[in-house]
């Protein structure tokens, strides 16, 4: 639920702030001229800090954590292309065996930390073990239950216990024995916890402020609320790293910047701000200002699509337990009105969504089970409601939304479009924390409808579907906000997760996408787009088809 640069989860407030970007359609998501090695890159952030402890970080592969840490695998991101998995510290993207239950990785030769010591397979294991210690929880945890079912393992700091499901027969080999077959394990191996931490180190709570670097940069200075400064890691070997060109000599991250001031600095484009990139999404209000400035407009980069914004229907509540009633919502919602509420103009907004799997994910199939105009089809909705025994529509539904930013406005657009189909809903705005508690934690929450969005953590349909629709994700901190519980879908999710052949897995996920939507637990609204502004000397600012975030690793300074 974090906004800022946790960059994933229910991609909360800011994703929709910049939803669909009130600007022209993106032209390939790339900007900037030729870059050369050298110079200082400035990253301007409204966030007070950044987490550089690999166990505790939930950053995506394209963001700043990658300056400091390498992992077993990485992502190859290019504009207009699906993101692919590539080796990072490992020689390949992993060898599955035992039907996908065992995965073996081999480390490349002579890879070193910033202190000159060699990176060993035991360090990857130690980093993962460390992530189980309660003091270092909070990051992406896709590996946890697969390596320690039921979370019986509590980390290496209490009694020196090791995780028996990870084997390191020599310094370069690491073998994972999973609890069940898992085809996306090589994607999971690209998440932050798979970064090496020298065995025995990292017991201190603030390790993230001075981690030992395996990536191209090391942290020279870290001040929460102010700055993080990076210089080159002298022992990093670029020849072994195919995803990090590491162009700038220095990177300076400026925290806690006011968003309007960031925009103004970048629009003005003077002095060191020419070398700066704005990490915060450009909001619709800022975009209007940028549109009127030719120079700034040329330095704006927008993603093709992004997080899935959707209306969750609480499938355990009242009339919404009836699938035929839920289907009426697919026609009742006016997606064009939602686009206008997000971007001010439907022409400027991204396309209306009809699938659960977001664009840019390999194997995604485009389909529409409930074809209608983006404006919806109130007549059809009324017809379906009547057929389901509700000739007078529905009354007294509760629509929960966050109270911050433009969420209430978005909720109003949904509310009025539902009203046109005879569905009367009351909007219940909540602050972020209460909203999270309501939709994620309460066993019996008081809502019928919830307005949310989701950005998967890895470019796999698995990360799109499993967290939102598996019954194990209902309550207790899970993201199944529709409270969707279908034993058949649960079984098929486990089956698709176990499929090692990616083409075969993609087919299964596409089928699941359709199968779940046939039960109509959610109404897909739009695939939100993100826009970023940067200075005139920053080059290689590119956004791939996934994720909807610029790939910081590629940035360089135009000399």
Partner 1 sequence: MRAVKFVAGRFAGMVLVLLIVSFITFVVFYVLPSEPAQLACGRPCSPQALELAREFMGYNVPWYQQYFDFIGGIFGGRTFGTGQAAIVCSAPCFGYDFQNNADVLDEILSRVEVSVSVAIGAAIIWLITGVGLGVVSALKRGTPLDRITMAVAMAGVSMPAYLAGMLGITIFAFGLDVVPKNGYVPIGEDVAQWAWHLVTPWLVLAFLHAAIYARLTRGQMLETLGEDFIRTARAKGLTERKVVGRHALRNVLLPVVTVFGVDLGLLLAGTVITERIFSMPGVGMLLVDSIRSLNLPILLGVTLFAALAVTLVNFLVDLFYGVLDPRARLT
Give the residues lining the site for partner 1 (CB under 8 A). Answer: 1-3, 8-9, 48-49, 58, 133-142, 144-145, 150-151, 155, 157-159, 203, 205-206, 208-209, 223-226, 254-258, 260-261, 264-265, 268, 432-434, 436-438, 440-442, 457, 466-467, 472-473, 475-479
Q: How far is the CB of 252 from partner 1 (least distance, A)?
A: 12
Residue with tokens 């994910």: 361
Q: How far is the CB of 55 from partner 1 (least distance, A)?
A: 9
Which of 205, 217, 204, 284 is closest to 252 using CA atoms?
Answer: 217
d(C-alpha 521, C-alpha 307), whole Å: 18
Q: How far is the CB of 8 from partner 1 (least distance, A)?
A: 7
Structure tokens at 115: 């202190």
In terms of CB distance, is 145 or 351 closer to partner 1? 145
In terms of CB distance, is 186 or 466 closer to partner 1? 466
In terms of CB distance, is 455 or 540 closer to partner 1? 455
Q: How far is the CB of 37 from partner 1 (least distance, A)?
A: 28
d(C-alpha 165, C-alpha 229), whole Å: 37
* C-alpha distances out from residue 322 to 317, 382, 470, 510, 516, Å: 9, 15, 19, 24, 14
Q: How far is the CB of 273 from partner 1 (least distance, A)?
A: 8
Q: How far is the CB of 228 from partner 1 (least distance, A)?
A: 13
d(C-alpha 131, C-alpha 423), whole Å: 46
Q: How far is the CB of 403 from partner 1 (least distance, A)?
A: 13
* Residue 365 exposed, middle or buried by CB count within 10 Å (0-12, 13-18, 19+): middle
CB 2 within 8 A of CB 280: no
In terms of CB distance, is 111 or 190 closer to partner 1? 190
Structure tokens at 448: 């019928």
Backbone angles phi, psi at 118, to 5 degrees: -85, 140
Q: Give the count of alpha carbons within 13 A of 92, CB side only.
A: 8
In terms of CB distance, is 457 or 551 closer to partner 1? 457
d(C-alpha 286, C-alpha 259), whole Å: 9
d(C-alpha 312, C-alpha 483), whole Å: 9
CB 39 within 8 A of CB 249: yes
In terms of CB distance, is 54 or 539 closer to partner 1? 54
Q: How far is the CB of 197 from partner 1 (least distance, A)?
A: 12
In terms of CB distance, is 8 or 411 closer to partner 1? 8
Q: How far is the CB of 5 from partner 1 (least distance, A)?
A: 12
In terms of CB distance, is 9 or 215 closer to partner 1? 9
* Residue 306 exposed, middle or buried by CB count within 10 Å (0-12, 13-18, 19+): buried
d(C-alpha 219, C-alpha 23), whole Å: 36
Look at residue 274 and give its three-state secondary structure. Answer: helix
In terms of CB distance, is 170 or 431 closer to partner 1? 431
Q: Give the count of alpha carbons within 13 A of 469, CB side only.
A: 29
In terms of CB distance, is 39 or 157 closer to partner 1? 157
Backbone angles phi, psi at 420, to 5 degrees: -65, -20
Q: How far is the CB of 402 from partner 1 (least distance, A)?
A: 12
User: What length is written for the chain?
Assistant: 559
């Amino acid at each position: 639920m974090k906004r800022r640069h946790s960059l994933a989860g229910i991609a909360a407030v800011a994703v929709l702030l910049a939803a669909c970007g009130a600007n022209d359609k993106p032209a390939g998501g790339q900007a900037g001229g030729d870059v050369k090695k050298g110079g200082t890159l400035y990253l301007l952030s409204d966030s007070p800090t950044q987490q550089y402890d690999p166990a505790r970080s939930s950053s995506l592969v394209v963001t700043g954590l990658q300056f400091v840490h390498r992992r077993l695998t990485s992502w190859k991101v290019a504009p207009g292309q699906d993101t692919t998995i590539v080796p990072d510290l490992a020689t390949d993207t992993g060898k599955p065996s035992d039907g996908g239950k065992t995965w073996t990785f081999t480390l490349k030769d002579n890879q070193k930390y910033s202190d000159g010591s060699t990176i060993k397979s035991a360090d990857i294991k130690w980093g993962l073990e460390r992530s189980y210690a309660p003091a270092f929880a909070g990051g992406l945890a896709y590996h946890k239950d697969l390596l320690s079912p039921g979370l019986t393992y509590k980390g290496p700091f209490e009694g020196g216990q090791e995780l028996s499901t990870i084997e390191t027969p020599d310094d370069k080999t690491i073998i994972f024995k999973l609890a069940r077959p898992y085809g996306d394990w090589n994607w999971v191996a690209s998440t932050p916890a798979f970064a090496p931490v020298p065995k025995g180190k990292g017991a201190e709570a603030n390790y993230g402020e001075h981690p030992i670097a395996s990536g191209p940069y090391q942290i020279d200075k870290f001040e929460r609320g102010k700055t993080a400064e990076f210089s080159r890691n002298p022992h990093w070997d670029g020849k072994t790293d195919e995803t990090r060109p590491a162009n700038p000599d220095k990177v300076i991250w400026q925290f806690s910047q006011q968003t309007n001031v960031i925009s103004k600095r970048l629009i003005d484009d003077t002095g060191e701000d020419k070398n700066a990139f704005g990490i915060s999404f450009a909001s619709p209000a800022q975009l209007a200002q940028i549109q009127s400035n030719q120079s700034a407009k040329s330095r704006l980069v927008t993603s093709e699509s992004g997080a899935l914004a959707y209306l969750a229907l609480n499938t355990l509540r009242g009339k919404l337990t009836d699938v035929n009633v839920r289907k009426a919502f697919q026609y009742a919602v006016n997606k064009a009105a939602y686009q206008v509420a997000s971007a001010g103009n439907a022409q400027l907004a991204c396309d209306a969504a009809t699938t659960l799997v977001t664009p840019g994910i390999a194997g995604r199939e485009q389909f529409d089970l409930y074809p209608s105009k983006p404006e919806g089809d109130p007549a059809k909705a009324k017809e379906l409601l009547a057929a389901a025994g509700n000739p007078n529509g529905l009354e007294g539904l509760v629509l929960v939304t966050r109270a911050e930013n433009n969420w209430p406005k978005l909720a109003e657009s949904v509310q009025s479009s539902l009203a046109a189909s005879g569905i009367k809903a009351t909007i219940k705005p909540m602050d972020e924390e209460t909203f999270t508690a309501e939709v994620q934690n309460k066993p019996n929450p008081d809502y019928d409808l919830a307005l949310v969005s989701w950005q998967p953590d890895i470019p796999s349909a698995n990360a799109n579907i499993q967290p939102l629709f598996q019954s194990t994700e209902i309550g207790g901190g899970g993201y199944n906000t529709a409270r969707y519980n279908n034993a058949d879908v649960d079984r098929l999710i486990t089956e698709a997760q176990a499929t090692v052949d990616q083409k075969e897995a993609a087919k299964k996920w596409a089928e699941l996408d359709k199968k779940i939507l046939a039960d109509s637990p959610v109404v897909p609204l739009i695939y939100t787009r993100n826009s970023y502004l940067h200075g005139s000397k920053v080059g290689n600012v590119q956004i791939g088809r996934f994720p909807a975030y610029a790939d910081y690793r590629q940035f360089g300074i135009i000399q």
